[in-house]
Amino acid sequence: MSIEQLRLILCDMYQMDLWYPPLFGKWSDEFKKASYSKWAVDELLDYIAEILYPSTSASIDEFYQFTYEFMMDTAEYARVNNPRTRLMFQTASNMAADILDLLHAMK
């Protein structure tokens, strides 16, 4: 599978239908989570592309391994005692866990 194929799958699954609630008021936490979810997918794709460079493709098992590493890294950052970044990295770690389920189903 190529990184571009993964990008299309993740865009279809996690970014195209992402609902953005209003920025202000009672929805601000939901807005942050939606924004962080989009950011997490982009970061994961960049992370994998950087590892693969100069290649642009890998096996699903390799994509699974890279996603797992990303999930563990972001989970570690989520443990840092900084409330401004904790939610961002928790969202990224949770998103990576969901993507791992997707990759596992693709095997």
Domain definitions of the chain by residue range: 3-106
Q: What is the pLDDT of residues 12-64, one digit of tens each?
A: 887 666 555 555 666 667 777 778 888 999 999 999 999 999 999 999 999 99
Helix ranges (H only) for the chain are 3-10, 28-52, 60-78, 83-106
Residue 2: its pLDDT value, please?
95
pLDDT tens per residue across span 65-77? 999 999 999 999 9
Cis omega (within 30 of 0) on the bond before 22? no
User: Helix (H, G, I), strand (E, B), or coil: what is residue 21?
Assistant: coil
Q: What is the pTM of this model?
A: 0.86
